[in-house]
Structure 1
Amino acid sequence: MLTDVQIQAHADRIRNDGFTVIEGAASPELIEGLITALQRIEREHQLGPAKTSFEGFKTVRINNLLTYDDLFWEVPLHGNVLPVVERVLDKECLLSSFCSLVLGPGQEAQPIHEDTQLIPLPRPHIPITINAIWALSDFREDNGATRIIPGSHKYDSSPEYGHDYAAVTATMKAGSVMLFDSALWHGGGANDSDERRFAFSCAYCWGWMRQQENLQLGIPQETAKRFPRRLQELCGYSVYKGQFGHIDNHDPIELLGRERGKRMVWEATDAKKAKMTGVAGKP
């Protein structure tokens, strides 16, 4: 696992350069299992390529991955990745989206874009979403490795859609994970090889933001009940700062049969006041 010094170094690179690569983040055994699971799911559910040019006519994207195989639960929680995200955002961040990105031979390059441009905030702004690109295959120049423009998260505008930009190819070995500020200009590369390129996109956001995928409705509650508690919280069964996301002043994690997490902010304020004055608060 990463040391605290390593976690801080990766977080600093994200803030300064817009991205960082955690080499060898996942074990070969986990990577092999994840690819095997993806291939099985494609067959069993007869899943095919996307239907839009942006998503890729020769790219298989599987959304709502947490519902398909328990092995996928390890990805958002991974101990070499999540601590870096939490250092850039905070420990009450949410999982925003989690999908596969399997590029088939002949897939054209994706237009350079940034993932926050539909959010009405002036650029540059603080990191609000962090994307983790998991290389399940080696990321090479010829098989669709992600292209990035380092430092572009600090630009005061978004890229012009369809415009050709000089970009750096983020090559990395299978098992490595590239984390980047989603305001960074980036795009999938072209797969000119004769093999499929396997990857995950696992994005996280602040706890006060709306997630890209509606995980509370998309994941059956019976499935969510089996998640580790931290994964339940990441999916939105939590209350940010004791205020945002509550249900009638209760932590939504109680819906999954868990004991509540933290007090609501109003209750915590009264408890703090009572402690300071020596007056017992209500139970």
Structure 2
Amino acid sequence: WGARMAFAIKQVCVLLLLAGTAHSFLAPSHLSTLCHSRCVENAGRRGVSWRRDGMGGLPGLSHGLKMGFMEDLRAKNAERLAIREQNDLIGKKYGLKKVQSFPTRILSTDWKVEKLSKMLDENGVLGLEGALSQETASRLLDYISRESETNKRQVEGGEVDFDDRFGGVNCRGDGMFGKRQDQFLPLSDDIVREACAEAMGNMLPLLEATMTPKAALHEVSSLVADPGAPRQCIHADTIVLPCPQYPDASMKPLYTFFIALQDVEDGMGHTTFLPRTHTPDAHLLWNLGQKQKESLISSLPAVESGLKTGDVVIFDSRCLHAGGANTSNKRRVLFYFTLSEQKQWPLPDGLHGSNSIRRKDFEKWHLADLVREAGVAR
């Protein structure tokens, strides 16, 4: 009876979704939770218990089964929203342009560093060319590909927990790993430390101007989008603090660095950003409801990354953005790390924060420690 009931309920839910009435139990607050963060679900591995089913006390159904129903619905709804955003909303008023990008060599000039730091602070997104060499990018790409297969095999075999190797991403596709993975990278491996040291060393004047040499490492990971990875819905990786829910909390900006390990062609999916949306006012509008979100998206300028091998796009983690669909037959891999002048995220267990990092590296590393690997520490 339980199995038949579960099947019937799932069919009804699917019909409701297809009819466009799933919003009756996918309230804006739930949609905001789903579409808010690239890795908000990662907090679960630090002991946070997420209850996002919204189905109350349906008889005869386990909590896990109810969660499964709602996760399926939310995932499909998010993919549908992402397609609508791409086709009807993003760039509607101003078009879609490339992220403004500059060669790393200009960081040797103080006034240019100051100007770029101001641009990043005001716009929330900035591009730099040549943060990582072709050789290092190629070595790291090979390493991530090998680790991907090893990690998946270990998770499937029960040797390690999923949350010890991978983070949660929205619109990842079907199955345990889907078509999009957030795969943590261990700093115990030489190539990971070397890549961090090289990229941070090449950008050091800007990093010191934007943060300090004592900036803390909050994330070191990779985003892997296999062929068929769906487009993500627009989201931010972290919330603005303080905010109405957490009026006593505060956080310095977290800056995330997406570095391409291969040329990202158009079909492989660029990352889209909505500049200047890392502010309290933008997040206030964003959280008013789905209609307000769509109005905001359509009314704002939009830019996309368009990275070549070794190029980086730097963004404030509060800035609204989305990964594009991979419609090509090639895998897209981005190496990334996140730094902040503030060491600890103020909410308990990483709630609403950026958490894509191995346990053993959590709250251990600083900018100065890592650039020392490249012999460029000041």
TM-score normalised per structure 1:
0.68
Is the CA contact (8 Å cut-off) linking 1:110 and 1:189 kept in structure 2?
yes
Match for residue 193 of structure 2? 73
Match for residue 231 of structure 1? 370
Change (3 A) 1:155 1:60: same
Instruction: Give 2:337's match in structure 1, choosing from 189, 198, 202.
Output: 202
Instruction: Give 1:175's match in structure 2, choosing from 294, 304, 310.
Output: 310
**In the TM superposition, what is the alpha-carbon distance from 1:95 to its structure 2 partner?**
0.5
Is the CA contact (8 Å cut-off) linking 2:267 and 2:326 kept in structure 1?
yes
Does residue 128 of structure 1 match 2:253? yes
Is the CA contact (8 Å cut-off) linking 2:186 and 2:358 kept in structure 1?
no
Is the CA contact (8 Å cut-off) linking 2:171 and 2:233 kept in structure 1?
no
Match for residue 141 of structure 1? 266
Match for residue 281 of structure 2? 156
Match for residue 13 of structure 1? 119
**In the TM superposition, what is the alpha-carbon distance from 1:8 to its structure 2 partner?**
2.6
Match for residue 107 of structure 1? 229
Pairing 1:34-49 to 2, within 5 Å after superposition: 34-46=140-152
- The CA distance in 2 between the partners of 1:187 and 1:87, in whole Å, is 27
Match for residue 192 of structure 1? 327
- The CA distance in 1 between the partners of 2:359 and 2:140, in whole Å, is 24
Change (3 A) 1:91 1:4: farther
- The CA distance in 2 between the partners of 1:174 and 1:18, in whole Å, is 22
The higher-RCO structure (CA 8 Å, 6+ apart) is 2
Match for residue 108 of structure 2? 3
Is the CA contact (8 Å cut-off) linking 1:127 and 1:181 kept in structure 2?
no
107-116 or 173-182: bigger deviation: 107-116
Does residue 29 of structure 1 match 2:149? no
**Runs of 4+ with deviation above 6 angstroms:** 48-51
Change (3 A) 1:84 1:126: farther
- Equivalent AA in structure 2 for residue 54 of structure 1: N
- The CA distance in 1 between the partners of 2:279 and 2:367, in whole Å, is 36
203-212 or 88-97: bigger deviation: 203-212
**In the TM superposition, what is the alpha-carbon distance from 1:19 to its structure 2 partner?**
1.3
Q: Secondary structure of 1:62's match?
A: strand
- The CA distance in 2 between the partners of 1:43 and 1:217, in whole Å, is 20
Match for residue 183 of structure 2? 62
- Equivalent AA in structure 2 for residue 195 of structure 1: K
Is the CA contact (8 Å cut-off) linking 1:76 and 1:82 kept in structure 2?
no
**In the TM superposition, what is the alpha-carbon distance from 1:175 to its structure 2 partner?**
0.8
- The CA distance in 2 between the partners of 1:23 and 1:141, in whole Å, is 18
- The CA distance in 2 between the partners of 1:24 and 1:213, in whole Å, is 26
- The CA distance in 2 between the partners of 1:155 and 1:84, in whole Å, is 24
- The CA distance in 2 between the partners of 1:207 and 1:94, in whole Å, is 7
**Alpha carbon RMSD of aligned pairs, Å?**
3.5
The Cα offsets for residues 46-101 of structure 1, whole Å up to 9 and x where unpaired, read as: 3589685616221132114324x211112333212344233212222100111110
Change (3 A) 1:3 1:36: same
52-61 or 176-185: bigger deviation: 52-61
- The CA distance in 2 between the partners of 1:65 and 1:98, in whole Å, is 8
- Equivalent AA in structure 1 for residue 335 of structure 2: F
Is the CA contact (8 Å cut-off) linking 1:66 and 1:72 kept in structure 2?
yes
Q: Which ranges of structure 2 fall in alignment gaps of 5 or more residues?
A: 1-104, 156-161, 173-177, 373-378
**In the TM superposition, what is the alpha-carbon distance from 1:196 to its structure 2 partner?**
0.6
Change (3 A) 1:115 1:55: same
Instruction: Give 1:91's match in structure 2, choosing from 213, 236, 244.
Output: 213
Q: Secondary structure of 1:194's match?
A: coil
Q: Which ranges of structure 1 fall in alignment gaps of 5 or more residues?
A: 234-283
Is the CA contact (8 Å cut-off) linking 2:125 and 2:316 kept in structure 1?
yes
- The CA distance in 1 between the partners of 2:323 and 2:305, in whole Å, is 10
- The CA distance in 1 between the partners of 2:234 and 2:195, in whole Å, is 26
TM-score normalised per structure 2:
0.52
